[in-house]
Amino acid sequence: TIEDAVRDNIAWFKAGKVWLPTESSWLPAYEHELMLFPNGSHDDQVDSTSQFLQDSIKGDMMARIRVLG
């Protein structure tokens, strides 16, 4: 389930291995969705973030791209 995948990926955030821009027009909505999960009305960005992190763990080279802000 998406809940299980997110639970597995929390360590990446806590370890500082997920880099987000410090300022961006989309950042507040993204963080809001992450913080409300699983009780929010949307989970598309949570799901795509989880999939990206899972691909990174598997060694997918495209998933190693870091977005720097």
Q: Would you say the pTM of this structure is higher than 0.85?
A: no
- What are the tens digits of pLDDT across the range 44-61? 999 998 888 887 777 655
DSSP character at residue 23: S
CB 5 within 8 A of CB 49: no
pLDDT band with cut points at 50, 70 and 90 for residue 28: very high
Distance CA 4, CA 10 (A): 10
| Percentage of the chain modeled with pLDDT above 90 | 30
